[in-house]
Structure 1
Amino acid sequence: MSKPHRPPSGRTNIASCIVATIFLIFVVIIILIVFFTVFKPKDPKISVNSVQLPSFSVSNNTVNFTFSQYVSVKNPNRAVFSHYDSTLHLLYSSSQVGFLFIPAGKIDAGQTRNMAVTFSVDSFPLSASPDAAVHVGPAFNEGGGQPGFNNGFRVGPSMEIESRIQMAGRVRVLHFLTHHLETKVRCRVAIAVTDGSVLGFHC
């Protein structure tokens, strides 16, 4: 005659729960380590490669020009970066003189996307304020030259504008974790008032 089956004791149930809990904690720790070392979201990097003014004119102390800026945006994440509509602001003497929308798009994991933005800037007066960044000599002394010179040539009156790019978007890690990211870059651009040539820029 077989012996009746005894139900598991309370101690056995508690031990099983403890083992299962320890195992789950271990799995969670491993997932967090992998996430923060491999899949940790990183903000994209914006690099300004070139700034140009294809057209430029000054008349009666009023200036108007076409502004072109070439940038590259790198997605350092292991997932696609989907960015929303972005903006580029152009300022002179702390006042906005130009504005452009950059359409939404996607940048594949680990890839770099090149962008070129060009738009016409409406005429605006050159400020007479001492802080308006209209002066003699370059705003940036690149290449180790002496102040007031650009590659050995004398630089005349110059003005300074500032460009600001702001880009926001999201990445989806492991197909279910969504993270919102944002990046921005500011560049000061020195321009020769005589002919509109770009003397230099610093971001």
Structure 2
Amino acid sequence: MKSQFLLRSQTLFLPQKQVLKPYYPEAMATTTRDLKIHLSKRQRGLRICLCVSSLVILVAAILILIFTIFKPKDPSVFVNPVDLENFQVLSPNSSGAPLNLVITIQNPNYASFKNRNGSGYLKYGDTIIAEIPLESRLFPARSTTNVSTTANIQTDKLLKDPNFMVAVEGGAFNMTSEAKLSGKVRMAKIIRLKAKVYLSCTISLNISAFQTASTCISKLKL
């Protein structure tokens, strides 16, 4: 009876064997690699988010500047006929009288403007009496540019108008001029936009005193 008790007690208090889990280095390496890939994706996503946010802020800042400080302004234009001493509008031996013009354009904008080759027209009343060639030219930002050109006035059309002879007898006559400059504006070497400048001028010539005066209206459209 006693021996059975001892045997049973020894059986109860025998130390239990530890169960060792198998060690798989490949599995641990795979887990570490997956963790690194996950962290790398998160960092890349964060960088993309920061880049997009920075780009949006930059575009917003540029738009604010364009519509406030850099808001497009109409240029100031002056048309000045020159060399009136040689202007022979009443010459009977010629059907054309060259009129030299200096067109002064003041660009008040922070963007430059470059126009393509074009032309304008000179009118007396409702009759077109000359074409004004306008060559391609760069108008720098916030600058004044003088453009020299020549309008070959068709005197035969003028002499057919009875109102012209009456005006000449008074020593002066008025003409109107219209032109459209098509080109591109460029700002900070980044922004390029198509633009058009519309010009409308009234030119007064006092051929007896060799004096001129002009009034121009200009409009810039993007």
- TM-score band (shorter)? 0.5 to 0.7
Shift of 1:164: 2.4
Q: Which one has a bigger Cα radius of gyration?
A: 2
* Identity score, percent: 20
Match of 2:18 in 1: none
C-alpha RMSD over aligned residues:
4.1
Change (3 A) 1:202 1:30: closer
Counterparts of 1:38-77 in structure 2, within 5 Å, are 38-48=69-79, 50-52=80-82, 53=84, 54-58=86-90, 64-77=96-109
1:168 maps to what in 2? Answer: 182
Counterparts in 2 of 1:76 and 1:180: CA distance versus 1, 3 Å: farther
Q: Secondary structure at the match of 2:88?
A: strand
Q: Say which is worse superposed, 33-42 or 77-86, in terms of deviation.
A: 33-42
Residue 34 of structure 1: which of 56, 65, 76 is its match?
Answer: 65
Q: Which moved more, 1:93-102 or 1:182-191?
A: 182-191
1:127 maps onto 2:150 in alignment: no
Residue-pair matches, total:
176
Number of the residue aligned with 1:105: 137
C-alpha separation in 1, matches of 2:136 and 2:189: 21
Distance (whole Å) between structure 2 residues aligned to residue 190 and residue 27 of structure 1: 49
State the alpha-carbon separation in 2 of the partners of residues 27 and 58 from structure 1.
62
Task: List gaps (5 residues or longer) in structure 2.
Answer: 1-30, 39-45, 217-222
CA distance in 1, matches of 2:167, 2:116: 41
The corresponding residue for 1:202 is: 215
**Shift of residue 133, structure 1, vs aligned partner:** 5.8
Q: Which has the higher helix share?
A: 2
- Where relative contact order (Cα < 8 A, 6+ residues apart) is larger, the structure is 1
Partner of 2:194: 180
Structure with more of its chain in strand, by fraction = 1
Q: Deviations over 1:92-136 (max 9, x none)?
A: 2211111132110212222221122224323322413xxx46546
The alpha-carbon distance between structure 1 residues 184 and 68, as it changes in their structure 2 partners (threshold 3 A), is: farther
Q: Distance in 2 between matches of 1:98 and 1:74?
A: 24
- The answer for unaligned runs of 5 or more in structure 1 is 9-15, 138-154
Question: In 2 relative to 1, CA 45–22 (structure 1 residues): closer, same or farther, beyond 3 Å?
Answer: same
Q: What is the aligned counterpart of 1:116 among 148, 157, 161?
A: 148
Asked whether the equivalents of residues 65 and 121 of structure 1 are also in contact (C-alpha less than 8 Å), the reply is yes
Task: State the TM-score, normalizing by the size of structure 2.
Answer: 0.58
Question: In 2, are the aligned partners of 1:76 and 1:109 still within 8 Å (CA)?
Answer: yes
Q: AA paired with 2:117?
A: D
Could you tell me how far apart the structure 2 residues matched to 1:175 and 1:55 are? Answer: 43
Give distance in 2, aligned partners of 1:196 and 1:88: 27
